A and B are shown apart, each in its own frame.
Chain A
Amino acid sequence: MAQSFERQKAKPHVTEEWVGRVYTLLCIFLLVATIFSMVYFVASRGLTTFFGDGVNVLELLTGIKWNPEGEPAVFGALPFIFGSFSTSILAALISAPLGFCAAVFMVEIAPRFGRKYLQPVIELLAGIPSVVYGFVGLSVIVPLFRDIFPGQGLGIAAGALVLSIMILPTITTIATDALAGLPSGLKEGSYALGSTRWQTISRIVLPTTLPALLTGIVLGIARAFGEALAVQMVIGNAPHIPRSLFESTSTLTSAITLSMGNTAMGSVHNNALWSLALILMLMTFIFVFIVRWLEGRSKI
């Protein structure tokens, strides 16, 4: 009885180990397969525009006129690309100083208070769904801008402002981690030499953590770049490069959400929208590589 029990017990462990190994391997394989099929399918759709429908790549990237249903149809996506870049970079410009100050506050100035109150607040900002941001943007920011500035209130400024709040958590969290991870000897050395807190922060902390701070900013830009619904609600969606920050314009994501459902699969217009999605995807790759490069430099 005892003997047979022993023998049986040894075996299941080996099988179990193998089952576990194979299972986890399968999971990771599935993950990799997903991303490959994603790249494949989006690319195959997006490239049809160029190879199937004969639209020139350069024309798509640099053309400023978007008239997909006209005679002849013109596909110039530069206004969308411009819109995406300008809103997300502007959003980062607003958000980065705020996020940096919040991080310094939490790590250097009032760690206990900061950790207890500011951090949950920032995490909550991250949790608010993007449709709610869009909703608030459309009912608060847009009317406000319409009253203060010339124009309709919709446009890059409104989009960037909404986005800046949305990416604040990303930038702050990464900056906080970077500041907290700084070897304390560096700071103590600076204080010991008689520096004030601000001197320590601006001359020691900031330069050392700069790559990490930049990583946060790039990730923030990446998030803003891909955000769809909140931006679409406040940007106005005209396919033109705007003459001011308060004039209706489009981003890549807003152009896609606006027309994807209304065009038939396989039509040129629909394919062109997939090309925009492909650009979004390629930009994601670029952002990831920039982040990797920055991380490589941040070894303190």
Chain B
Amino acid sequence: MNAKTADKIATAVIIAVAAFIVLLLIGLLGYILVRGLGHISFDFLTSAPETIRAGGGIGPQLFNSLFLLVLTMLITIPLGLGAGIYMSEYAPVNRVTAFIRLVVEVLSSFPSIVVGLFGLLIFVNLFEFGFSLFSGALALTVFNLPLMVRITEQGLRSVPQAQKEASLALGLTKWKTITSVMLPIAIPVILTGTILAAGRVFGEAAALLFTAGMSSPRLDFSDWNPLHDVSPLNPFRPAETLAVHIWKINSEGLAPDAPEIAAGASAVLILTVLLFNLVARWLGRYMYRKFTAIK
């Protein structure tokens, strides 16, 4: 076979594979959405689930997912930013730093189930937070922290060296330089990464099975005092998120319309993740344009 034919065949194969991957995703999304979209209605999104009757919704689960996301991010962002700033700006070049880098890498590749089990042992049992949103948020923080650190480091590294040096030369302290000069420039990168990380929180189930629990107690959506037991804002109540709900309904669902609910909930989950992706892209592009003054 001469080189030209080989080249043509190889190119054709590669294009075919690329097309196959696109088709695969279309098929996958299509399958989930076609099965699920018909079941989505305002009522489905807002009503409480039913144990054995048909017509249950996913309202509390949807709320739990969002609330857990906010909680997780409230803990992850300050910690991740801090750790990321240290790694990129303060850490001396020595063995300890290299070791910490290794630790972060290891932590980021831990299976989510191991993180979940650790959460069960520490947050649920040892600290006695029980199966609660708070335990879940902490477990997800463990899971997301390395990602956040890496994102922050990436963001800070994207800041032009000259800008940083100019600020230092003006006599600003390092901390002031970081917070007032570097972070604003790094924010597009950090924000895009954070939103993508948030999407991961939304879809996670294995780590939450053992930490946030699989039950959804009655919520009183008119009571917004976080200290009340029935308040949706109480972080110490057990909470089933959307992803966990799909898992549970697939495996234990007694309601006659369980398959439809699972399909509908999957579609909602996919759409939300899609939304996260789009928002992250849009926001990243928007801010890039804004900060770099490209009109």
Residue from A32, A129, A256 in contact with B103 in the complex, judged by beta carbons closer than 8 Å: A32
Contact in complex: A31, B104 (CB < 8 Å) = yes
List 16 A-B residue pairs with CB atoms under 8 Å apart, sorted by A's residue number. A27-B82, A28-B83, A32-B100, A34-B145, A35-B103, A98-B17, A102-B18, A121-B22, A124-B274, A127-B277, A129-B204, A165-B28, A168-B21, A196-B7, A261-B209, A280-B114
In the complex the two chains form, is A165's CB within 8 Å of B24's CB? yes
* CB neighbours of A23 from chain B (8 A): 82
Q: CB distance A27 to B79 under 8 Å?
A: yes
- The answer to the question of A144 belonging to the interface, with a C-beta cut-off of 8 Å to chain B, is no
Q: Which of B115, B175, B202, B210 contacts A129 (CB 8 A)?
A: B202
Is A104 an interface position by the 8 A CB rule?
yes
Q: Of residues 86 to 115 in A, which have CB atoms within 8 Å of B's CB atoms? A: 97-98, 101-102, 104-106, 109-110, 114
Of B49-57, B227-235, B243-251, the stretch lying at the interface with chain A is B243-251
User: Most chain-A CB neighbours within 10 Å: which of B6, B9, B25?
Assistant: B25
A residues 108-146 touching B (CB-CB < 8 Å): 109-110, 114, 117-118, 120-125, 127-132, 134-136, 138, 140
Q: Are A281 and B173 in contact (CB under 8 A)?
A: no
Is A263 in the interface zone, CB < 8 Å from B? no
Which of B161-169, B262-270, B286-294 faces chain A? B262-270
Residue numbers of B with Cβ under 8 A of A are 3-4, 6-7, 9-11, 13-15, 17-18, 20-22, 24-25, 28-29, 31-32, 78-83, 85-87, 89-91, 100, 102-107, 109-115, 117-118, 120-122, 125, 142, 145-146, 149, 173-176, 178-179, 196, 199-200, 202-206, 209-210, 243-244, 246-247, 250, 262, 266, 269-270, 273-274, 276-277, 281
A34: nearest chain-B partner, CB-CB: B142
Known contacts: A20-B175, A196-B7. The answer to whether A225 contacts B125 by CB under 8 A is: no
- Known contacts A25-B86, A27-B82, A45-B121; decide if A130 and B205 are in contact (CB<8 Å): yes
Partner of A31, one of B24, B103, B204, B270: B103
A140 CB contacts on chain B under 8 angstroms: 31
- CB of A228 within 8 A of CB of B112, answer yes
In the assembly, what is the distance between CA of A261 and CA of B113, in Å?
13
B22 touching A118, Cβ below 8 Å: yes
- CB of A201 within 8 A of CB of B10, answer yes
Chain A residues with CB under 8 Å of B274's CB are 124, 127
With beta carbons under 8 angstroms apart, the residue of A13, A261, A288 that contacts B173 is: A13
Closest to A281 in B: B114
From residue A78, how far is it (CB to closest CB) to chain B in Å? Answer: 19
Looking at chain B's contact residues, the main secondary structure is helix
Does A17 count as interface, using CB distance less than 8 angstroms?
yes
Nearest CB of B to A266, in Å:
11
Chain B hits for A208, CB < 8 A: none
Tell whether, in the assembled complex, residue B175 and residue A16 are in contact, meaning their CB atoms are under 8 Å apart. Answer: yes
Docked-complex contact B114 and A226, CB < 8 angstroms: yes
A292–B7 Cα gap in the complex (Å)?
34
* A27 touching B118 in the complex, CB below 8 Å, given contacts A13-B176, A17-B174, A101-B14: no
Tally of A-B residue pairs with Cβ under 8 A? Answer: 242
Query: Is there a chain B Cβ closer than 8 Å to A259's Cβ?
Result: no
- List the B side residues contacting A110 at CB < 8 Å: 15
Determine if B7 and A199 form an interchain contact, defined as CB atoms under 8 angstroms apart: yes
Known: A28-B87, A127-B199, A219-B109. A37 touches B122 (CB 8 A): yes
Q: B15 near A41 (CB under 8 angstroms)?
A: no
**A257 at interface (Cβ–Cβ under 8 A)?**
yes
B21 touches A280 (CB 8 A): no
A35, A41, A127, A228: the one within 8 Å of B107 (CB): A35
Please list the residues of chain A having a beta carbon within 8 angstroms of any beta carbon in chain B.
13-14, 16-17, 19-21, 23-28, 30-32, 34-35, 37-38, 41-42, 45, 97-98, 101-102, 104-106, 109-110, 114, 117-118, 120-125, 127-132, 134-136, 138, 140, 165, 168, 195-199, 201-202, 219, 222-223, 225-229, 233, 253, 256-257, 260-261, 265, 274, 277, 280-281, 284-285, 287-288, 291-292
**A128-B103 contact given A98-B17, A226-B114, CB 8 Å threshold:** no
| Pick from A31, A135, A195, A197: contact of B79, CB under 8 Å | A31
Q: Is the CB of B276 within 8 A of A132?
A: no
Which of B21, B149, B176 is the one whose CB lies under 8 Å from A121? Answer: B21
Query: Are A284 and B106 in contact (CB-based, < 8 A)?
Result: yes
Residue of B90, B196, B205 ringed by the most chain A CB atoms within 10 A: B205
Name B15's contact: one of A105, A134, A280 (CB within 8 Å).
A105
> B178: which A residues are within 8 A, CB to CB?
20
CA distance A14 to B171 in the complex (A): 12
Name the residue on A nearest B14 (C-beta): A101
- CB < 8 Å neighbour of A102 from B17, B179, B209, B243: B17
State the Cβ distance, A204 to closest chain B Cβ, in Å. Answer: 14
The distance in angstroms between the C-alpha atoms of A287 and B114, with both chains bound, is: 15
The CA-CA distance from A226 to B80 in the complex, in Å, is 23
Residues of B within 8 Å of A19, CB to CB, are 175
Chain B neighbourhood of A34, CB < 8 A = 107, 142, 145
Q: Which of A135, A274, A280 is in CB contact (< 8 Å) with B250?
A: A135
**Contacts A129-B204, A284-B111; is A38 near B14 (CB within 8 Å)?**
no
Contact of A38 with B118 in the complex, beta carbons under 8 Å: yes
